[in-house]
Structure 1
Amino acid sequence: MPNLNWFTRKDLTLAPTPNCWDIIALVIVLTLLIMLGWAAQQMLSPFQLSQPKTVITLDPHILPEYALRSTLRMLIALCFSLLFTFTIGTWAAKSRKAEKLIIPIIDLLQSIPVLGFLSLTVTGFITLFPGKLLGPECAAIFAIFTSQAWNMMLGFYQSLKTLPQSLSEAVQIMQLNAWQRFWRFEVPFALPSLIWNTMLSLSAGWFFVVASEAISISNQDIRLPGIGAYIALAIEQANQQAIILAILTMLAVICLYDQCLMRPLTYWSNQFNTEASSTKRPWIVLMFSRTHLLKSIAKIYAHFKDYTQKQAPPLKPGFKLNTQTQAYCYWLYYGLGLMLLGYWIKSLLQIDWTPFKILQLHEFYETFILGLITTARIIVCTTLAALIWIPIGVWIGLRARWATRLQPIIQFLAAFPANLLFPVVVALIVQHQLSVNIWTSPLIILGTQWYILFNVIAGTQTLKKSMHDVSTLFQLPQWIRWRRLILPGIFPHLMTGIISAVGGAWNASIIAEYVEWGPHQLIATGLGSYIALQYRSGHFVQLTLGITMMCLFVLIINRVVWAPLYHWAQKRCQ
């Protein structure tokens, strides 16, 4: 029988005595669990598509409940996004064959707007969970997932592809297996970029929460209780007081998950960076460190983990499958791929294509021209955003204290939905008789700039401090530092940010080119307004045409422009 000598005699004789910090921590944890459990239970409420839509009220007293239910959807989508990032991102970074398949698929999925995912999936989710609100809830969570996962996966994939040679040599010297290499070296190296991209993905989820909680299907509106549905109703009724209350509620929620989630994660990730400056411990980390009972439970878990690792047989480094097993895996891989392809072809054959025959040639030409107009608008907005936020992001990334201070402010600004600026935009354009095609474009920048800023900050924080010290010692001019050190160091992260920014800009164009505030409607010329109009009108055929044209534009731009630049950044700027 093994000797379970996990503790010293002193540890066994001195029982932990709970203190006031234990009570406070337990109250906070239990309160959060009860609130999230209650919100999860509401997802199982009865629901019928034929019945009247869920009643949404602008009563300020209901806002905490709406905030809780929206936050739960965001957290569930974030969990699935992290799982997707660790599995698919790692697979794409480690396998050349998988990379050739996964990256184009991600480009395709990234090009599909959130409204497209909602239109294509909401019916399936409602059918999957008949008679339950869980169907529309899953559709909303999936829509939020699509606004989070691609950016996180591409950022993590880029970090693994640019792993320094010194870390790879250290892994070989220590003879670690693939599992140990992943959790001890690769994940810690990718943590700064992953955390910043997680913050950005949470903010992107808030940006599209209005579309995900106010769903239109079969000429019926489905309103899920949440901040997004609250904002949608406030816009319909042109209620400025409700908009202000929604902004304050979002600010409170963002501050809460910044304090309880993002700051502890940022503080924890600094232990893997030897060049990171010491940061002040967040209050929640300080609170848990002062507990007695919870620290004892953590010690028991740590001792048990160490014991099981010592008793477990060591994994052999460099483990590889034999040739026959590899052949079976490849056959299984391609077999599953053929099954999915056959199912997809069968689904296409079962679709009633009769409604699509009403499309005329001039409609294809019209959507193509609208796509060119929106492309030009996105290029201008993304270029302006890059010129503004690259120097600001580098300045923030080089100063750890300022990065910590500005983190919640940047998160709030990134999470700020463009819909909340509709009253300001409408008032300015109507009063001053401005051009709708020009002055609605700043709403697109609102959806692009944060991808660039977050990735530039993350890239700057990965630069070695010794290189900055050498450049300071030799008193190199500022333009040489930027040309030889900063720009090559952040360029892979910058390309990831720009690719994600362009994808976000296409989604934001649907919101920016169709501005609605009460009885006022301002429609700019572009593919985004075309999709928004067809979605609200329930014209599925024209909506499919607009989404398909948008996907083609994004794919062509990614393949012709961004993919070559991204590969060049991986080879020349590593």
Structure 2
Amino acid sequence: MPVRTRVSWIDVAVAVFVFALLFVIIKLGTGMGVPLSPKDQPHIVLDWRMLPYYAGRSLLRMFIAYACSLLFTFIYGRIAALNKTAEKVMIPLLDILQSVPVLGFLSVTVTGFMALFPHSLLGAECASIFAIFTGQVWNMTFSFYASVASLPRELNEAAKVMRFDAFTRFTRLELPFAMIGLVWNSMMSFGGGWFFLAASESITVLNQNIQLPGLGSYMATAMNRGDIPALIEAIVTMVLVIILVDQLFWRPIVAWSQKFKMELSNAGDQPTSWFLNLLRRSALAQWIGRQVFGALGRAIDRAMLHLAKRAQARGPRLRPAPVRRGLKWILLAAAAAVVAYYGYLGVVEVSRLGWRDILHVVVLGCFTALRVFASTALALLWTIPVGVAIGSNQRASQIAQPVVQILASFPANMFFPFIALMYLNWHVNFELGAIPLMMLGTQWYILFNVIAGTMAIPNDLKEATKVLGLRGWERWKRLYLPAIFPYVVNGCVTASGGAWNASIIAELVSWHKHTLVAAGLGAYITEATTRGSWPNIVLSIVAMAVFVTIINRFLWRPLYSFAESRYRIEWSGR
């Protein structure tokens, strides 16, 4: 196809957009390194004219955290999927990390980042980005791990026959196969970052109060002051930002990712994006793609190929197997030393409490576990039929995607005060009323996975069910449920972990002088964090990690293994 060289209005628009984007990024980035001291504290101004700037600061943190999450996902998820020995340690560790609440990460990281960048706002910015990272990364890592672990046998055999090195295998096989699920889980993870935006930007931990310029802190300030007009302005701004990100970022990626779908025949309807079509018509965008991103990709390919050749050339002399084994044991010893050190510190802190405190935390954990199971089960009832309907109908997907993206990305905890007032007026038992609040932040994990699983079904299988005349329940039983089962399991794992995390803000809700508290581990963590009580914080976080690890080990892990062995799509007759 000949490359256009004539400059059009599209090229001018793309050039203006690129330069404006670079200018905005630089302008927003300079605000991250301003001085910070007891006298130089950032203040949130409840003025609607400041909302575009606050929205830009929040978006910059979100995308930096997302880039870090992608890098972590590719490294951690790939190692866990391909190395069975490492998998036995890395996946339980991922379960534990997923269960640690955002406030728990903030409690540990704020002081460290502030010490790393003294007298600068950059330390608090890094802590906020890290908190958003912890709200995004686990879902993406689980998705990529599950996709790589469930690669069809014939594709693995083809990669061995063609002698792919590790980097070629990653770029030509693993990443394309995992792309659709990763894209939809990335959207959900990005929404998870929005959910905890207020907690990550308006940090109140260990008696320190740092408010970073952003939409989250703007909302938190409006709630604290009871300024409903300002809160509505922030909500409208967030909805507009989510729509903008969906149209300029997520929708083009969803449309582009469909070329990685495994099928022998073409589907009738494909997701489309006006912005992606615009870029494809732009000679400037094509030039940037070739000269910048293409050249960067080729340089990385050459560097990785060079490293692979050097490793092969000196392999016999270095005896790589003993070296790898030695390195593995060194890394395991280092990890064990770190765990032992922090475990010792945790034991010292917890030892200040009595057995009654420990038993009390265990009982509270059981209450929260029941709410987690209930919220996950209730979410399954509606997300499976709705997700299949959206994923199997491209026209419905075009309409529903931005709506679902807004609902999933919008921080549901902003509605909690209004729901609390409704509960007070209707005298709702908050022990049960906390379950819908947990669902508001976690049901989207399952929905996005169901949509991704439905969209990943090869069109050949859909046509086969039509030829066989399968309708209604038979079509669900023979096609949809088996095909989406691995995705449902992945969604339940992340939704369950998200529900534990959401319990921190769902089990204790305040609005002015009214406070609703449900007996549970989430409310306990929130109260302990507010008081700055380290023994209680450590005990509650450890208890939550233990609960999540046990549930994942005896429930979700067996279901993962069953999904990989029973419902893996194979193209050969094996």
Runs of at least 5 residues in structure 2 that lack an aligned partner in the other structure: 569-574
Choose from 405, 427, 430 the match for 2:424.
430
User: Separation in 1 of the partners of 2:297 and 2:39?
Assistant: 56
| Residues 299 and 528 of structure 1, relative CA distance in 2, 3 Å threshold | closer
CA contact 2:14–2:284 (8 Å) conserved in 1: no
User: Separation in 2 of the partners of 1:199 and 1:390?
Assistant: 18
Task: Quote the residue 1:272 is aligned against.
Answer: 260
Task: Specify the SS of the correspondent of 2:33.
Answer: coil
Choose from 265, 278, 288 the match for 2:279.
288
Q: Shift of residue 362 of structure 1?
A: 1.2
User: Separation in 2 of the partners of 1:148 and 1:303?
Assistant: 28
Q: Structure 1 stretch 292-301 or stretch 62-71: which is displaced more?
A: 292-301
Q: Shift of residue 225 of structure 1?
A: 0.9
User: Separation in 2 of the partners of 1:535 and 1:305?
Assistant: 45
CA contact 2:79–2:86 (8 Å) conserved in 1: yes
CA contact 1:155–1:496 (8 Å) conserved in 2: yes
CA contact 1:235–1:516 (8 Å) conserved in 2: no
Task: Quote the residue 2:122 is aligned against.
Answer: 134
Task: Quote the residue 2:571 is aligned against.
Answer: none
| Residues 156 and 357 of structure 1, relative CA distance in 2, 3 Å threshold | closer
Task: Quote the residue 1:5 is aligned against.
Answer: none
| Residues 207 and 556 of structure 1, relative CA distance in 2, 3 Å threshold | same
Task: Specify the SS of the correspondent of 1:215.
Answer: strand
Task: Quote the residue 1:69 is aligned against.
Answer: 57
Choose from 444, 447, 454 the match for 1:453.
447
Task: Specify the SS of the correspondent of 1:46.
Answer: coil
Which amino acid is 1:530 matched to?
Y
Task: Quote the residue 1:336 is aligned against.
Answer: 331
Task: Specify the SS of the correspondent of 2:542.
Answer: helix
Amino-acid identity (%): 41
Q: How do residues 133-172 of structure 1 correspond to structure 2 at under 5 angstroms? A: 133-172=121-160
Q: Structure 1 stretch 121-130 or stretch 213-222: which is displaced more?
A: 213-222
Q: Shift of residue 276 of structure 1?
A: 4.4
Q: How do residues 6-405 of structure 1 correspond to structure 2 at under 5 angstroms? A: 16-48=5-37, 50-51=38-39, 53-172=41-160, 174-273=162-261, 274=263, 275-279=266-270, 281-299=272-290, 322=316, 324-346=319-341, 351=345, 356-405=350-399
User: Separation in 2 of the partners of 1:425 and 1:303?
Assistant: 50
Choose from 540, 543, 547 the match for 2:541.
547
Q: Shift of residue 449 of structure 1?
A: 0.7
User: Separation in 2 of the partners of 1:327 and 1:206?
Assistant: 46
| Residues 345 and 467 of structure 1, relative CA distance in 2, 3 Å threshold | closer
CA contact 2:116–2:123 (8 Å) conserved in 1: yes
Residue-by-residue CA offset, 1:80-122 (whole Å, 9 max, x unaligned): 1100111111111111112112111101101111111111111
Q: Structure 1 stretch 284-293 or stretch 234-243: which is displaced more?
A: 284-293
CA contact 1:17–1:293 (8 Å) conserved in 2: no
Q: Shift of residue 541 of structure 1?
A: 1.7
| Residues 176 and 345 of structure 1, relative CA distance in 2, 3 Å threshold | closer
Which amino acid is 2:450 matched to?
V
Residue-by-residue CA offset, 1:418-440 (whole Å, 9 max, x unaligned): 22212321221122222121223
Which amino acid is 2:275 matched to?
I
Task: Specify the SS of the correspondent of 1:98.
Answer: helix
Residue-by-residue CA offset, 1:161-212 (whole Å, 9 max, x unaligned): 1112343344345454332232122211111100000000000000011111
| Residues 146 and 485 of structure 1, relative CA distance in 2, 3 Å threshold | same
| Residues 302 and 559 of structure 1, relative CA distance in 2, 3 Å threshold | closer
| Residues 375 and 30 of structure 1, relative CA distance in 2, 3 Å threshold | same
Task: Quote the residue 1:3 is aligned against.
Answer: none
Q: Structure 1 stretch 518-527 or stretch 290-299: which is displaced more?
A: 290-299
Which amino acid is 1:328 matched to?
V
CA contact 1:53–1:221 (8 Å) conserved in 2: no
Q: Shift of residue 481 of structure 1?
A: 2.3
TM-score, scaled to structure 1: 0.91
User: Separation in 1 of the partners of 2:547 and 2:47?
Assistant: 43
Number of aligned residues? 560
Which amino acid is 1:377 matched to?
R
Task: Specify the SS of the correspondent of 2:148.
Answer: helix
| Residues 29 and 339 of structure 1, relative CA distance in 2, 3 Å threshold | same
CA contact 1:206–1:416 (8 Å) conserved in 2: yes
CA contact 2:65–2:129 (8 Å) conserved in 1: yes
| Residues 355 and 198 of structure 1, relative CA distance in 2, 3 Å threshold | closer
User: Separation in 1 of the partners of 2:540 and 2:505?
Assistant: 14
Q: Shift of residue 460 of structure 1?
A: 1.3
Q: Shift of residue 377 of structure 1?
A: 1.1
User: Separation in 2 of the partners of 1:331 and 1:247?
Assistant: 54
Task: Quote the residue 2:525 is aligned against.
Answer: 531
User: Separation in 1 of the partners of 2:6 and 2:371?
Assistant: 63
User: Separation in 2 of the partners of 1:60 and 1:299?
Assistant: 41
Q: Are 2:480 and 1:476 aligned?
A: no
User: Separation in 2 of the partners of 1:310 and 1:514?
Assistant: 54
CA contact 2:110–2:127 (8 Å) conserved in 1: yes
| Residues 46 and 77 of structure 1, relative CA distance in 2, 3 Å threshold | same
Runs of at least 5 residues in structure 1 that lack an aligned partner in the other structure: 1-7
| Residues 314 and 536 of structure 1, relative CA distance in 2, 3 Å threshold | closer
CA contact 2:181–2:453 (8 Å) conserved in 1: yes
Q: Structure 1 stretch 71-80 or stretch 20-29: which is displaced more?
A: 20-29
Q: Shift of residue 289 of structure 1?
A: 2.8
Task: Specify the SS of the correspondent of 2:367.
Answer: helix
Residue-by-residue CA offset, 1:4-30 (whole Å, 9 max, x unaligned): xxxx9x99xx9x453322221111111
Task: Specify the SS of the correspondent of 1:43.
Answer: helix
Q: Shift of residue 255 of structure 1?
A: 1.1
Choose from 488, 491, 494 the match for 2:485.
491
RMSD between aligned alpha carbons?
A: 2.8
TM-score, scaled to structure 2: 0.91
Q: Structure 1 stretch 441-450 or stretch 328-337: which is displaced more?
A: 328-337
Q: Structure 1 stretch 163-172 or stretch 375-384: which is displaced more?
A: 163-172
User: Separation in 2 of the partners of 1:96 and 1:120?
Assistant: 31
| Residues 26 and 172 of structure 1, relative CA distance in 2, 3 Å threshold | same
Q: Are 2:561 and 1:567 aligned?
A: yes
Q: Shift of residue 53 of structure 1?
A: 4.3
Q: Are 2:500 and 1:515 aligned?
A: no
User: Separation in 1 of the partners of 2:489 and 2:449?
Assistant: 9
